[in-house]
Structure 1
Amino acid sequence: MTRPLRLVFIGLSLSSSWGNGHATTYRALLRALARRGHDILFLEQDQPWYAENRDLPDPDFCRLELYSGVDTLPAYRAEVAAADAVIVGSYVADGVSVAAWVQGAATGVTAFYDIDTPVTLAKLERGDFEYLSPELIPGFDLYLSFTGGPTLAHLEQRYGAAAALPLYCSVDTEAYRPAPGPSRYDLGYLGTYSPDRQPTLERLLLEPARRLPELRFVVAGSQFPRDIRWPGNVTHIEHVPPREHCAFYNSCRFALNVTRADMIRAGHSPSVRLFEAAACGTPVISDLWDGIETIFAPGIEICLARGSDEVAGLLTQTPEPLRRAIGEAARQRVLAEHSSTRRAAELEETLLRRVEELARQRRVRAAASGGDRSRGGARPHLRVVK
């Protein structure tokens, strides 16, 4: 790193992990960026459902500010204008207006951080511009995507993204690690209820639970319908805050990963839950999607299952030494490639490269206009070779 960066994030939530996975992602990434010396402001719209469930109201790794609506964002205009980079996240309330305001107010690098890329693209295709519109995409210098693979070229070719790059989720490996002790559950799933995930949860956890009454299962997550009939050997926990995720995964012999339908279709969309469980040394049983083999080696670092029979077989027929070996192999892969420290370094390198290119463009423009070296005026749009 050549120098600390001034960064502004505008995201769904940092203060509350209730009902969303964004907070966990932002916390790991921003904490790692702060360790690398960067100055960070996080702007979060104050929402009543988060206000009632704040588990990180005062982070020690960045400055958190709550704003009441897009009309109050101009109070932060000076900080947005002075930032080296401003990053707007997916699912931000009034996101279209927020992004348009940022593109007008920022003088540094601008980026859209899509933690929901396949969902975003599906929404755009059906004309649902809840938090992003097609017209805004070319106005960002970077499109940072939770999804890699062919989706990146689609973003550039179909929507005119200046530079679409993968920025997968990550895990704080200081907070997530193996802990000695007996397992409480044979298979555990952690995730907010989603209608498109429920059939897979039924197939890969609830049905195996019915077949294996002698084993113990757990589902942890909010917003599940009250009329779900949980088998007697399945415990449902309404919410597990991030500070208890490590203990949750360490209480399970295996962890289940269930992927949303849009992300299965896109492929190359690893979940943060994959990395959390693996960092704890808990072997993961996952559904299948294109690109999963680029994240973990099937049969060596992760177990893949299409149906109940395969899950039941893994739970009852996997020798304990092999179970432990799979968990440890996955942990080593996470330490090498998917830690928050690694992800922060990737983002830092990308931003510094863009900041330097922006400075070069300004010098050229200043020289052409007779030496005006001010930072103001129209912001050059970065279109650089990746």
Structure 2
Amino acid sequence: MKLVVLGLSLSSSWGNGHATTFRALLQAFASRGHDVIFLERDVPWYAGQRDLADPGWCRLAFYRDLAALERWAPEVAAADAVVVGSYVPDGVAAGQWVQRTARGTTAFYDIDTPVTLAKLERGDCDYLSPELIPGYDVYLSFTGGPTLDRLERHYRSPAARALYCSVDPRAYRSTGAAKRWDLSYLGTYSDDRQPPLTRLLIDAARAAPAKRFVVAGPQYPAGIDWPANVQRIEHLPPAEHAAFYSASRWTLNVTRADMIARGWSPSVRLFEAAACATPIVSDWWEGLDQLFAPDREIVLAATAAGVLAALDRADATAIGEAGRARVLAAHTADHRAAELERYLGEAAAVRAEAA
């Protein structure tokens, strides 16, 4: 299969979770014998923070603006499938161009489905419009559950399919590093993620000054009052994620409000941490128990006291190993690449039958 992807970023993981998602998925997809071209808008905030210059397993190319996309019209027209990702700059216009130009299957890959739907409902989404959705043969969603039915019934998607994030177990596994922190958190700052981060990590750190905490990720405001036992790491490139998790006795997962409201929206950090056999303490959202077994593969907490109770559990190692086993059985990049191949093939069959 010849696949063209227009995505937010493959070259830079700075301040976004898209790059690591695309890297794992597309490398696994290419390993199944497919040819991949990734087209990335050349923007200064990623140009200065690139941590993947040459993927090797796909062709990575940059374009200045919408007009420059015309250079790639022959590849888009000849591709068996073209995928447009969420948060692509000028994504509505880019999607319209893809739907006009492509002769093969077209798909929208929404790495931010709950945020996208909230934006569509407010009428302020600049990378997708309700009119564009029916023109994509398949809507690939980071969110499963009832959201898929809403995409088909309300937004008239011909086919909405869950394509969750995943992990490359070759890159994410325990490094055997000595434990430096009792609880870690890895994630870019977000207004609606900060309250649960404050409640579950910062308040826990204040209540347990003898324990060691760390928060890694960019864009946190200067005014946050970090306790003395919370270390800050401004940016952690993907190559250092496995060592980071391996040095954590536990790691925290907190979820954006829109994703909690929709449910069935796992973060890539869940799978990455679990693949390193690091036990996870998480907030709750509908559908989480379909991915990990609570109290056996993951621990749930709603308060700082609940987090501190988790940190004192004697079965932390067993929980981490059980979480890793679950990820290896169902949530690797190879699993997602096979699903992507199947979804695109099914959409192509529907197009052929209609023709």
**Structure 1 length as normaliser, TM-score?**
0.91
Q: 1:186 aligns with which of 182, 187, 207?
A: 182
- The alignment status of 1:231 with 2:227, answered yes or no, reads yes
- Please name the residue that 2:339 is paired with: 346
- The alignment status of 1:200 with 2:196, answered yes or no, reads yes
Alpha-carbon RMSD: 0.8
- Secondary structure of the equivalent of 1:129? coil
Q: In structure 2, give the amino acid aligned to 1:342.
A: H
- The alignment status of 1:294 with 2:290, answered yes or no, reads yes
TM-aligned CA deviation for residue 6 of structure 1: 0.2
TM-aligned CA deviation for residue 233 of structure 1: 0.5
- Please name the residue that 2:99 is paired with: 103
- Please name the residue that 1:244 is paired with: 240
C-alpha distance in structure 1 between counterparts of 2:65 and 2:247, whole Å:
41
- The alignment status of 1:77 with 2:87, answered yes or no, reads no
Which structure 1 residue ranges, 5 or more long, are not aligned? 363-386
C-alpha distance in structure 2 between counterparts of 1:61 and 1:256, whole Å:
32
- The alignment status of 1:31 with 2:19, answered yes or no, reads no
Q: 2:166 aligns with which of 155, 163, 170?
A: 170
C-alpha distance in structure 1 between counterparts of 2:117 and 2:176, whole Å:
42
TM-aligned CA deviation for residue 358 of structure 1: 3.0
Q: Equivalent pairs: percent with the same residue?
A: 62
Q: In structure 2, give the amino acid aligned to 1:303.
A: V
- Please name the residue that 1:384 is paired with: none
C-alpha distance in structure 2 between counterparts of 1:256 and 1:90, whole Å:
26
TM-aligned CA deviation for residue 359 of structure 1: 3.6
**What are the superposed Cα offsets for residues 241-272 of structure 1, whole Å, 9 maximum, x if unpaired?**
01111111001000100100000000000000
- The alignment status of 1:335 with 2:328, answered yes or no, reads yes
**What are the superposed Cα offsets for residues 172-212 of structure 1, whole Å, 9 maximum, x if unpaired?**
01111112242100000000000100000000100110111
- What does 1:1-386 correspond to in 2, within 5 Å? 5-316=1-312, 318-319=313-314, 322-362=315-355
TM-aligned CA deviation for residue 62 of structure 1: 0.5
- Secondary structure of the equivalent of 2:154? helix
C-alpha distance in structure 1 between counterparts of 2:327 and 2:215, whole Å:
24
- Secondary structure of the equivalent of 2:26? helix
Q: In structure 2, give the amino acid aligned to 1:11.
A: G
TM-aligned CA deviation for residue 109 of structure 1: 0.2
C-alpha distance in structure 1 between counterparts of 2:236 and 2:318, whole Å:
27
TM-aligned CA deviation for residue 361 of structure 1: 4.1
TM-aligned CA deviation for residue 29 of structure 1: 0.2
C-alpha distance in structure 1 between counterparts of 2:7 and 2:71, whole Å:
17
**What are the superposed Cα offsets for residues 342-386 of structure 1, whole Å, 9 maximum, x if unpaired?**
110111112122223434444xxxxxxxxxxxxxxxxxxxxxxxx
C-alpha distance in structure 1 between counterparts of 2:218 and 2:354, whole Å:
48
Q: In structure 2, give the amino acid aligned to 1:329.
A: A
Q: In structure 1, give the amino acid aligned to 2:341.
A: E
Q: In structure 2, give the amino acid aligned to 1:22.
A: H
Which structure 2 residue ranges, 5 or more long, are not aligned? none
C-alpha distance in structure 1 between counterparts of 2:10 and 2:125, whole Å:
23
- Secondary structure of the equivalent of 1:144? strand
C-alpha distance in structure 2 between counterparts of 1:38 and 1:194, whole Å:
36
TM-aligned CA deviation for residue 22 of structure 1: 0.3
C-alpha distance in structure 2 between counterparts of 1:74 and 1:180, whole Å:
49
Q: In structure 2, give the amino acid aligned to 1:287.
A: D
Larger radius of gyration: 1
TM-aligned CA deviation for residue 161 of structure 1: 0.6
- Secondary structure of the equivalent of 1:138? helix
| Matched residues, number | 355
- Secondary structure of the equivalent of 1:135? coil
**Structure 2 length as normaliser, TM-score?**
0.99
Q: In structure 2, give the amino acid aligned to 1:306.
A: A
